[in-house]
A and B are shown apart, each in its own frame.
Chain A
Amino acid sequence: MLSRSRTILSLSRLSALLLLVVLVLLNVAAARTSSRVDLTEDGLYTLTDASKRVLSSLEDPASIRVFWHNVPGEQAETQRRYIESLLREMKAVAEGQLGVRWVDLEKEDGKQEVEDAGVQPYEYQARKEGEIRTTKGYSSLLIEIGDEKEPVEQLLQIGPRFEYEVISRLQRMTRTDDVVIALVAERPPTNPFGGAPTGRFNAIEHLLREHLGAGLRSHLSLDDPVPPDVDVLLVVGPMDSEEQQVYHFEQFLLRGGKAFVLLDPVHAPLFQAPPTQAESSGFEEWLAHLGLTVESGVVGDFRSFQMRPRQIRTRIGTLVERINYYYWPLLRSFQREGEEDRRGVNQDNPATRGFDQVPLFWPAALSIDEARHAAAGREVTVLAATSGAGYRRQDLIGLDHADEDNRHLTEEDLESAIPLMVHVEGPMVSFWKGRPAPGEEETGDEAEDAGEEAPGSDEGDEEPVEEDGPPRLDEGQGLLVVLTDAEIVDDGMTRVIGRAGIDFILNIVDWLSGSEDLLTLRAREPASRTIDKVEPEEQSLLKWLNVLGVPLLVLLAGIVVFIVRRYQS
């Protein structure tokens, strides 16, 4: 009997071992397949149609080499498997035009390959054999098409942006259109000591260059007419622009150009006292002529919530603290919640669709002269507006105070959907029609007509040719987008708040230039889903309801079962 039980025991151990081996092999075999369901609302971890379009239109064979080795971090394995699955999907969609290879960095060949590829390792401290040692790790990939190479670094940190980073590079490497986008922004002063560039808008310039390559004209000056090959003009944070600059901008529009202006009436740098007066961009009068008035003061949104960093000086140094801040409007996608109105981010426009929680910092209200636009045959669309709890604030004093100081706001102060970003498209009449353009000599006839809208003038009138420039136009068709905040792309703000704002702007630039492939991809960041403002009393109620309510219900159920059982027995 004893020997039989020993035999059974040995057989059991053997069978358990066998089962373990079979299960491990099964899992190893399954690791080579990819079958998954993405449950996220926006399909964050699934290839978008836009990506599929880019991949299926690859004409030249592309290859991706992944260098993934010694990657530390709690999310490393999860991210590796996500990247692996997505690359597999990409390869399948590209139908033989995309090769993917994971370089084995354990082997000497692999080590040599990573050196030859010029991929930079990153170093981190890790415990090895009881000692803290500096270890090298790799989490990069290299995209190659012909002789062209593009790396994607820090794959661990980019999370679900992985798809965008790969597809945008593939698109750039294969793009054949010659779209030219000109950036009009203050040129950063030369840093005599080298190092990081100074100035406010380096990040947007860097990203545009990365995205467009030679298609970007940075720091274009409006002192001269806009070159005819420019398709889209991006004007960021203009200050006190001269009449001639506005004129050149207008002439570009009338020639059928597309422009995007980011005004910055209130520039409130972080950690500094906010200004007490709004600044002029020089475009206000021209915009008013078009039927868009930039109102004085700033707009806040009581339903918004952002974390505002502030510096605190202590004995041990300066600390940065984040405080709840309910003033800065956070553009939300209300229509996703089924409310079809003009609040938040416009969900009908392909460039803004899908965006949620876009941060703005002290924008101004835009007033739209609907009748004027209708009479001129122009189409006006609000692309972004406050929530139902927006408010206007004329006084700029105390802008940096926290929410508690704003309690005096009443329901009557709140206003729904204050426009902050507007798209205007259609026939436009020159601000200088019937008058000499800035820099032009005033003739007798023109002096008589000055200040009028020149009602009897012929459409498409071509006035005397401007010196060394394109012919002057008094009327034309243009497309203009105006946003009343430029801090959305300010380097200081994006460093602290993140790049949600920059992606929003890049999307509109892409939409204006007609490159729509990446539009849906950029909006796929996991949105920071801010909840509505909850009063402290309601907060306490909800907390205690959850902590005590459900357990009480379970207790009640237990008592009922106990009584019923007792009664039955």
Chain B
Amino acid sequence: MLSVYRKEMRSYLVGPIPYVLAIIFSAYMAWWFFFLGDFFLYREARMENFFGVLPWVFIFLVPAISMRLWSEEARGGTLEVLLTLPVKSWKIVLGKFLAAWTLLLFCLVATLAIPITVSNLGDLDWGPVIGGYLGALLLGGALLAMGVWVSALTAHQIVAFLVAGVFSFVLVVLGFVAARVGGDLGTACAQISVASRYDSLGRGVVDLRDILYFVSFMGFFLYLNAVTVENGRYR
């Protein structure tokens, strides 16, 4: 698993993708927070505005990271080689996923200048900031696990990007549907929505149930991914 992780990280480092993603992501988040969010007009040392928009940005960012993971292997003809290696499918899947998750972490780290700036200007409560980043990492991990699985289903990166984007959108929007619809449907949507779990972490409360939810989510899609890869070996 570690060798797959290292290989993926090496391919990230030499290519432009992680840098381009981190540049666009950090610049957009800073633009959103300081310009569109009118930070200096409201003058509140809070980061809700930043963490509130993150799930929507992840709808684009996460599929952009995950789309190439399997599709590129299939397109470049290296998938067959990879599948014939004496490595278990789940190890390959986990290695690829962890590398992509590290890239997402790199993108999030690139935005740390924002809370540092805010804390220099006022009395920022770091608890919700830490909770928010943890939530973002877990939410990103969940969407990423799904995106990596989608990538294993198609040889086309664009298709993988679009399908993962739509799935991510549905998952994120479920929380807002729950808020608008109400009733039993709303309650059900709220229970399975990633948004309410993410919101809870963003308050600065790390609940074991939220962690378990995200880990289960990741585990399920990584398992599906491993199953998909394993099936590919027998085709």
Binding site for B on A (CB under 8 A): 1, 4-5, 8-9, 12-13, 15-16, 19-20, 23, 26-27, 30-31, 33-42, 44-45, 70-78, 81-82, 85, 124, 126-128, 135, 137, 305, 324, 336-337, 356, 526-532, 534, 539, 542-543, 545-551, 554-555, 557-558, 561-562, 565
CB-nearest residue of chain A to B130: A39
Q: Is the CB of A543 within 8 A of B181?
A: no
B127 near A41 (CB under 8 angstroms)? yes
Asked if B121 CB lies within 8 Å of chain A CBs, one says yes
Nearest CB of chain B from residue A131's CB, rounded to whole Å: 12
The total of chain B residues at the interface (CB under 8 A) is 73
* Docked-complex contact A126 and B183, CB < 8 angstroms: yes
Tell me whether B127 and A40 are in contact (CB under 8 A).
yes
| Chain B min CB distance to A447 (Å) | 59
Bound: A554/B113 CA distance, A: 12
Bound: A75/B190 CA distance, A: 10
Tell which of B126, B195, B209, B219 touches A23, judged by Cβ atoms closer than 8 Å.
Answer: B219
A85 to B231, CA, bound (A): 43
B49 within 8 A of A: no
Which listed residue (B113, B125, B234) contacts A41, Cβ 8 A?
B125
- Say if the beta carbon of B93 comes within 8 Å of chain A: no
B interface with A by C-beta (< 8 Å): 13-14, 16, 18-19, 22-24, 26-27, 30-31, 33-35, 40-41, 43-46, 110-111, 113-114, 117-118, 121-128, 130-131, 175-176, 178-183, 186-187, 190-191, 193, 195-196, 199-200, 203-209, 212-213, 216, 219-220, 223-224, 227, 230-231, 234-235
Nearest-CB residue, chain B, relative to A81: B200
Contacts of B178 in A (CB 8 A): 76-77
Q: A39-B131, A543-B34 are in contact. Are A77 and B193 (CB under 8 A)?
A: yes
A193: min CB distance to chain B, Å: 37
Whether A126 and B122, one on each chain, are in contact in the complex, defined by CB atoms closer than 8 angstroms, is no
A546 to B131, CA, bound (A): 22
- CA A71 – CA B190 in complex, angstroms? 11
CB distance from B88 to the nearest CB of A (A): 14
In the complex, the chain A residue whose C-beta lies closest to that of B27 is: A551
Residue of B nearest to A75 (CB): B199
Give the top 4 A-B pairs by smallest Cβ distance, nearest first.
A531-B122, A39-B127, A558-B19, A77-B196
CB atoms of B183 and A554 under 8 A apart: no
A74-B182 in contact (CB<8A): no
Of chain A, the residue at the smallest CB distance from B124 is: A529
A539 close to B206 (CB less than 8 A): no
Among A33, A137, A531, which residue has its beta carbon within 8 angstroms of that of B121? A531
User: Would you call B121 and A532 a contact (CB within 8 A)?
Assistant: yes
- Across the interface, name the chain B residue whose C-beta is closest to A547: B30
List chain B residues, Cβ under 8 A from A42: 125
